[in-house]
Structure 1
Amino acid sequence: MLRPSLLALVIASLLAGCGKPPEGDKKATPASAAASAPALLVAPEDVQTLGVSEYASGPVITGSIQPERRADLRAELQAIVLQVYKENGERVKRGDLLVRLDDTAIRDTVQSADETARAASQSFDQAERQYQRLKTLQAQGMSSIQAMEDAEIRRNNAQSDLVAARARAATARQQQQRTEVRAPFDGVVSDRKVSPGDSAQLGKELIKVMDPASMRFEGLVSADRMSELKLAQTVFFRVNGYPQVDFQGKVRRIAQAANASTRQVEVLVDFAGQQQPGVAGLYAEGRVQTTSVSALMVADGALQREGDKAYVWRVDGGKVTKTAVRLGARDDRQGLYVVTDGLKQNDRILRHPTSTLIDGQKVELSKAAVPARGGAGSKSAAPGFSTPAASAASGI
């Protein structure tokens, strides 16, 4: 009995003698590979027919989402923090107590000022009565004019002392009120800076409050494109953290001075509509719509890239062809690229090609399945899906 290696050698020799190369030496060409590959079964919704689309063209704008109404509440006197009543993210109403500072020393000042004002008030009342008495006596000729004038001077001095004492008492009470930090408007606490026991120096940040209903897009535009900007222009942009939402706004204000370090111009954009992010500080990027351009456009998902080259799979004549395309500008709002070369209007391409496709492979379009009319338990093939065997062959 021949050994396996010797048997293989004999078979190879016989094949060589017959002029036929072994099967392992045959090299499959791309055309033969496409001809031997099974036909793709593609749903109609997986094929896109290209047409002319409109896209926004204009300067790019980048920045962040910030509230228009925001307040950094700081200490107006030096004191110890006794209590913080609100945490980050809690909603507040106008006048709500947020932070309380120690007012022990100020209470003594208020009490002393009130006592001084009370004594000054009594002195003024006494001086007023004395003046009125001498005025009556002088009218009857029972007192000299000099005595009445002296009483009037004493009355006026007592009145001045009373006004000064009341002012000091009001200042002391105002200082006491500053130990209670209250919300200036309805909103939420965005940043708590202190805790009970902290020493609050004059001007120290205590807590921040913002109004989430007053969000706006504070963006920057390159100074090279500022000549294209106008008030009330439409802005389309995306916000980090909201990947599935396309936001739209209007230019409200354009700064008249460029940033000294970046040489960019600040642009304020108001949200159009009710929907807006509820979180401040999120990064945003978009485009100011200065002009509208018509062009052929393809989605990013329909492109396959090899280095710096881009390709699409065109459906034509019952087969798919790998077609090189040249791309232009990108519409960030729609996620579409402008096609400047390689395709023409009414060309059909695959929306989501895979790496298993073969150039020249045959393709068949399936018909959308019609749902069966029956009971709740009846099942039908979902439109856009091929049979398991065809799906495995096409990779879609």
Structure 2
Amino acid sequence: MRLTKAGMLLGGVYLAVVFIDPARGTIDANERVKEVVEAVAANQVDKPLELTLSEIADIRPTSMVERLRVSGDLEPTNRAVLHAKEGGKIVEVRAVAGQAVKAGDVLVRFETDDLQSVLRQREGDRDVAAAEMLLTMQSLNRIEQLAEKNIASQEQLDKARSEVAAATARLKSLSAQADIARSALRDAEVLAPFDGVISNRAINQGSRVGAGAELFTIVDTRILEAKVLVSTRDVHRIALAQRAELHIDGLDGQTVLGRVDRISPVADHGTRFIPVYIRLSNGGTHLRAGLFATGSILVRQNDDAIVIPAISLRKDEMGDYVLKLKKGRLVRQPVTVGTGWGGSDSLEISEGLAYGDTIVTVPLPELRPDVTVTIPKAG
């Protein structure tokens, strides 16, 4: 507007000079216009430009936060599928799906009549073998005494020693079989391995199952984790213990906090994304495995950043700079731009500015170094 007014003023002066004194000729008119232009230019230099409060910004500490959006399913961190070690008939089932159990609780009892009979037989065989070994050792002791007196031959001594070795081996074998029978009898009671909730029951009372058959699935619902998939482009920004905020389906907007617990070393075969596991606490929030979760991971935060609007950054042959207000004049202030903040319209400045500085935030061409400016007082 100021340039337009100056141009109109010069044009008017030129016409006035030509109209009033045409006898002086074109050369005199041009000289007069030159004088007027110099006077107007001098007046424009002396007169400061007025900036509004919306065109400047004071540098203050700014909190910058960058989050990565994620989504995935909730999974239990502790889950076990219980199988029958030996086949047999189920005589009692003490747990159903959805029931909470404690570590050591009896979940299933198998019929034990045959197992007890086998155990008694193995223990009897072991006892017989122990008695036989005792006799062979006593015989060996007598033969060794006779051999010292040259009454027993070397052949008799070797035979006695061989019988002791065979009896010892037989006793060890039968003792092992008795231990196996005792373990099978003990396994006739299936116990809960940890505190948790039964999520699946695959058997019924009275049914007969084979060795290795699935019985129960038990999960620990106290601590769950969210398995989210992160692209290979963004996974380098993820680190252990980073804080996450998730929203779970069915919790009516409630925010569940968690932290990055594990990062898979390999990509998912189907999606080529990297699985990341966020550990959640289930205290009082009624989380369930299998629920869908959406939210974000806090990948970076700076509570004392020096931030400027991206539009206020200028460039010239010497590099990046901003216009800083100093004693009523604009000065060129070189700056170093820090790392970006995920597509934000603000820039973090790592060097060149300090708290309390005032900069110009609008890219007007008439605003340049060494220009005098004024700022109206608030109100």
TM-score bucket of the superposed structures, by smaller chain: 0.5 to 0.7
Aligned to 1:255: 264
Q: Is the 8 A contact 2:224 2:281 kept in 1?
A: no
CA drift at 1:56: 5.5
**Alpha-carbon distance in 1 for matches of 2:65, 2:100:** 39
**Alpha-carbon distance in 2 for matches of 1:67, 1:273:** 10
Q: Is the 8 A contact 1:59 1:222 kept in 2?
A: no
Aligned to 1:366: none
Aligned to 2:16: none
**Alpha-carbon distance in 1 for matches of 2:71, 2:253:** 18
**Alpha-carbon distance in 2 for matches of 1:187, 1:284:** 22
**Alpha-carbon distance in 2 for matches of 1:244, 1:175:** 51
Aligned to 2:90: 81
CA drift at 1:251: 1.0
Greater mean alpha carbon deviation, residues 105-114 or residues 176-185: 105-114
CA drift at 1:82: 1.8
Change (3 A) 1:268 1:276: farther
Amino acid in structure 2 at the alignment position of 1:109: V
State which of 74, 81, 87 in structure 2 corresponds to 1:65.
74
Counterparts of 1:268-287 in structure 2, within 5 Å, are 268-271=277-280, 277-287=286-296
Q: Is the 8 A contact 2:263 2:275 kept in 1?
A: yes
1:132 maps to 2:141: yes
Number of residue equivalences: 246
**Alpha-carbon distance in 2 for matches of 1:99, 1:54:** 58
1:245 maps to 2:248: no
**Alpha-carbon distance in 2 for matches of 1:265, 1:186:** 31
The C-alpha deviation readout for 1:111-143, integer Å capped at 9, x for no partner, is: 221121111111101111111122222223432
Aligned to 1:192: 201
Q: Tell me, which stretches of 5 or more residues in structure 1 are unaligned?
A: 1-52, 295-337, 340-396
Change (3 A) 1:95 1:252: same
Amino acid in structure 1 at the alignment position of 2:260: V
Aligned to 2:237: 228
The C-alpha deviation readout for 1:199-222, integer Å capped at 9, x for no partner, is: 323332211222222222222223
Greater mean alpha carbon deviation, residues 267-276 or residues 163-172: 267-276
CA drift at 1:99: 1.0
The C-alpha deviation readout for 1:307-329, integer Å capped at 9, x for no partner, is: xxxxxxxxxxxxxxxxxxxxxxx
Q: Is the 8 A contact 1:250 1:272 kept in 2?
A: no
Amino acid in structure 1 at the alignment position of 2:234: R
Amino acid in structure 2 at the alignment position of 1:200: V
Q: Is the 8 A contact 1:226 1:265 kept in 2?
A: yes
Q: Is the 8 A contact 1:65 1:218 kept in 2?
A: yes
The C-alpha deviation readout for 1:215-273, integer Å capped at 9, x for no partner, is: 22222223443233222222111112222421111112111211111222211112369
SS of residue matched to 1:248: strand
Q: Is the 8 A contact 1:235 1:250 kept in 2?
A: yes
**Alpha-carbon distance in 2 for matches of 1:275, 1:250:** 18
**Alpha-carbon distance in 2 for matches of 1:291, 1:156:** 72
Q: Is the 8 A contact 2:133 2:167 kept in 1?
A: yes
Q: Is the 8 A contact 1:215 1:276 kept in 2?
A: no
1:108 maps to 2:108: no
**Alpha-carbon distance in 2 for matches of 1:276, 1:180:** 34
Q: Is the 8 A contact 2:222 2:283 kept in 1?
A: no
Aligned to 2:188: 179
CA drift at 1:175: 2.2
**Alpha-carbon distance in 2 for matches of 1:202, 1:57:** 54
Change (3 A) 1:79 1:268: same
Aligned to 1:327: none
**Alpha-carbon distance in 1 for matches of 2:281, 2:191:** 32
Aligned to 1:214: 223
Counterparts of 1:311-350 in structure 2, within 5 Å, are none
Amino acid in structure 2 at the alignment position of 1:218: K
Q: Tell me, which stretches of 5 or more residues in structure 2 are unaligned?
A: 1-61, 304-343, 346-379
Aligned to 1:92: 101
Amino acid in structure 2 at the alignment position of 1:170: D
Percent identity between matched residues is 25
Aligned to 2:29: none
SS of residue matched to 1:118: helix
TM-score w.r.t. the length of structure 2 is 0.58
Amino acid in structure 2 at the alignment position of 1:238: H
The C-alpha deviation readout for 1:164-196, integer Å capped at 9, x for no partner, is: 111111122222222221111222322222111
Change (3 A) 1:169 1:273: closer
Aligned to 1:168: 177
SS of residue matched to 2:103: coil
**Alpha-carbon distance in 1 for matches of 2:281, 2:94:** 35
**Which has the greater radius of gyration?**
2
1:289 maps to 2:333: no
CA drift at 1:105: 3.1
Amino acid in structure 2 at the alignment position of 1:281: G
Aligned to 1:205: 214
Change (3 A) 1:55 1:235: farther
SS of residue matched to 2:288: coil
SS of residue matched to 1:212: strand
**Alpha-carbon distance in 2 for matches of 1:269, 1:205:** 30
CA drift at 1:160: 0.8
Aligned to 2:309: none
SS of residue matched to 2:204: coil
